[in-house]
């Protein structure tokens, strides 16, 4: 997705997340959201503006996935690996990015 030689998104998973958010009523399945989230974070180098790859659409896709997913449906094993807290059952994007590197 380019416009005037400028990337509109850094990750094709951002496009998929946008389609998911339009077609599927929240909450989203945690397994799908986790795959999309991890890939977007890797493709954008953890949403780092310093790298110059992240776009507003990538940030919005990550935010939408974090807010609109039923993270409590992840397995206990996933909770343990991602070090998710019960008080805020969303994966920490920085922790996830570091695990995936």
Model confidence band, residue 33 (pLDDT cutoffs 50, 70, 90): very high
- The token pair that represents 27 in the structure block: 């909450």
What gap in Å lies between CA 9 and CA 59, rounded to an integer?
10
Question: Does the reported pTM lie above 0.85?
Answer: yes
Mean pLDDT of the chain: 92
Number of domains in the chain: 1
Residue 16: count other Cβ atoms within 10 Å of its Cβ.
16
Question: How far is Cα 62 from Cα 16, in angstroms, rounded to an integer?
Answer: 11
Higher pLDDT, 37 or 6: 37
* pLDDT class of 83 with cuts at 50, 70, 90: confident
| pLDDT for res 87 | 80
Query: Residue 1's pLDDT is what?
Result: 67
pLDDT of amino acid 59: 98
Query: For residues 56 and 91, what is the distance between their CA atoms, to the nearest angstrom?
Result: 20
Domain that holds residue 57: 2-100
Task: State the Cα–Cα distance between residues 76 and 90, nearest whole angstrom.
Answer: 13
């Amino acid at each position: 997705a380019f416009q005037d030689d400028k990337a509109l998104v850094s990750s094709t998973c951002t496009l998929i997340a946008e389609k998911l958010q339009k077609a599927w009523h929240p909450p989203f399945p945690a397994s799908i959201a986790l795959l999309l989230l991890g890939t977007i974070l890797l493709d954008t180098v953890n949403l780092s503006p310093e790298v110059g790859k992240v776009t507003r659409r990538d940030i919005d896709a990550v935010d939408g996935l974090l807010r609109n997913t039923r993270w409590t449906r992840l397995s206990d094993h996933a909770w343990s690996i991602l070090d998710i807290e019960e008080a805020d059952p969303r994966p920490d994007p920085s922790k996830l990015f570091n695990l995936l590197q």
